[in-house]
Amino acid sequence: MKEIFDNWKKHSKEDYDENLNYLKSLRGNKSIDQSAAELDKTVFAKVDCLQCANCCKSTPAMVTRPDAKRIAKHLGLSSKAFIKKYLLEDYDGSLMINGVPCTFLNVDNTCQIYEVRPEACREYPHTAQFGFHRRSRMNAQNTLICPATYEIVKRLKAIHV
């Protein structure tokens, strides 16, 4: 864990352009999805997200309407009251949590609404999901936020030159 985290901290910014260009070069190569999913499993077996929580600390979590309904029910609020208190609405109607670091992040990096957290949080950083090869910009952006993503891309570059 420490090595992955230190390496990310030291190199992710300087490697960003190279990573973005590499990830762009993978577009259309569907076989990459399988490699990324396998690396996701290997890398996350070594990473303890509770020692990191950088995603929760640095980016506002996207919340769908079904997410909002589920979390509101969990908190004993109406959807309307939950949205008003905890979410921001973008110009296109999309919703996100109104605090960075996230309003629901505890000091020990646990999540106050873990059981009902938004799908986007559940699926982050999406490295095991179908379509990895297409999401070059998002994956590159995530190398700056997520040590595990940086490591997955680093290992991917060693396999698929």
Residues that bind ligand SF4 (CB under 6 A): 47, 49, 52-56, 61, 97, 102, 104-105, 111, 113, 117-118, 121, 124-125, 145-148
Number of residues written out for the chain: 161
Please identify, using beta-carbon distances, which residue of 68 and 105 lies nearer to ligand SF4.
Answer: 105
Least distance to ligand SF4, CB of residue 63, Å? 8
**CA–CA separation, 161 vs 156, rounded Å?**
8
Residue 105 β-bridge partners: 111
Listing DSSP states for 47-65 in one string gives --GGGT-HHHHHSPPEE-H
DSSP 133: G
Least distance to ligand SF4, CB of residue 85, Å? 14
Please identify, using beta-carbon distances, which residue of 25 and 66 lies nearer to ligand SF4.
Answer: 66
Least distance to ligand SF4, CB of residue 119, Å? 10
Q: Contact 38/82 with Cβ under 8 angstroms?
A: no
Please identify, using beta-carbon distances, which residue of 26 and 52 lies nearer to ligand SF4.
Answer: 52
